[in-house]
Amino acid sequence: MKQLFRNTRTAVVVLLLAAATTGCGLSRGGSPIATVTSAAAPEYLIGPEDVLNVMFWREQDMTVEVAVRSDGMITLPLIGDIKAAGLRPDALGAEIQKSAGKFLEEPAVTVAVRQPNSQKVFITGQVTTPGAHPLTGPRTVMQLIALAGGLTEYADSENITIVRLEGTQTRSYRFNYQDVAKGKMLQQNIALQAGDTVVVP
């Protein structure tokens, strides 16, 4: 009897440790308590053109990959339209979970940003291919110039400007391509932020 008690107590401890490790508790019925998780950075704000993975535990028919439309909405099976733009992934997951609760028992939702297409930087002027580029990770001015095919022969490489909107204020930063290419004044090669525009005269 003592051995049976020890085995039972050990099993309970293992279950509790497993639940703590996975971040998922158990309901009285033995099923996971509804959770919302995100693969994106907590502060990331979803925007139009982002591609999201919306996953439902044990509800494969509800699990979809969906793009955020220009109006900021996404369409999900059974739920229909729901606003995604301007929300963090965890906040969107909570909204989806709330709506899904009308149709499903204890839904568990995971929202992940698969392609952060709404986060873009821009480059214009004397580069081979000016335009917009998705900011899918850390990116410097030098890297963006390389993505744009490099400078043209007419570029004023010593007087490049990075234009950044900070709230209601516009700030500009100077960038001397020649210096950075030679390993000088490397602090000019700043990490770009979403919405930055690099102007190559």
Sign of the dihedral through C-alpha 99, 103, 109, 112: negative
pLDDT at site 24: 43
pLDDT number for residue 86: 92
Name the average pLDDT for the chain.
83
| Residue with the two structure tokens 């051995």 | 3
How many CA atoms lie less than 13 Å away from 39 in the CB half-sphere?
13
Query: Do the domain assignments include residue 21?
Result: no
| Residue after which a domain boundary falls, among 115, 137, 160 | 115
Domain residues for the domain of 196 are: 120-200
- HSE value, Cβ hemisphere, 13 Å, CA-based, for 79: 24
CATH assignment at residue 164: 3.10.560.10
Residues 107 and 169 in one domain: no
The contacts of residue 56 (CB under 8 Å, 6+ apart) are 62, 63, 100, 104, 107, 108, 109
Cα–Cα distance for residue pair 108/126, rounded to 1 Å: 50
94 and 58 within one domain:
yes
Query: What's the structural domain count of the chain?
Result: 2
Q: What pLDDT, on the 0 to 100 scale, is given for residue 41?
A: 58
pTM above 0.85, yes or no: no
Same domain, 107 and 143: no
104 part of a folded domain? yes
